[in-house]
Amino acid sequence: MAWSSSSSSTSNTPPQKHEVFISFRSEDTRKTFTSHLNAALERLDIKTYLDNNNLDRGEEIPTTLVRAIEEAKLSVIVFSKNYADSKWCLDELLKILEFGRAKTLIIMPVFYDIDPSDVRNQRGTYAEAFDKHERYFQEKKKLQEWRKGLVEAANYSGWDCDVNR
């Protein structure tokens, strides 16, 4: 059953393109968990947004992604071992949290083969990622925003998916 986007016939609101925005580190989960999640949601007739399938040609990617996050009702953040390696994923996370704080987006984290406390406390591969970011990225304020964003997101109630179970 699809989530309904009920609106009156006099509404000027354009139809929603998607209901769920999925944030993920492509190399970690695109061909495994994320593709399975996307397929399951589509079988339920729930429209999803994945960055590879829904980008309009000719548009700037950041603008498109911000709009996609803003239009969604729910964002599933798939935290994987290498999620924090990507500045792109971390910036996307900050936008998701911004809309979540504004109460326009429900946030659901999935901890895919990573302990939620490693995300929250930036341990393990997340500590390694931030070591690299601190060496090569000069914007210290942005680094702090990313760190705070990971803590905030890891404090949401979500799912812990241990692939070795």
List residues with catalytic annotation: 92
What does the block give as tokens for 6?
């009920």
Distance (Å, whole) CA 153 – CA 116: 10
According to DSSP, the residues that pair with 161 across neighbouring strands are: 112
Q: What does each C-alpha distance from 90 to 28, 108, 142, 162 come to in angstroms?
A: 15, 16, 10, 22
33 phi and psi, to 5 degrees?
Answer: -55, -50
DSSP state of 74: E
CB 54 within 8 Å of CB 16: no
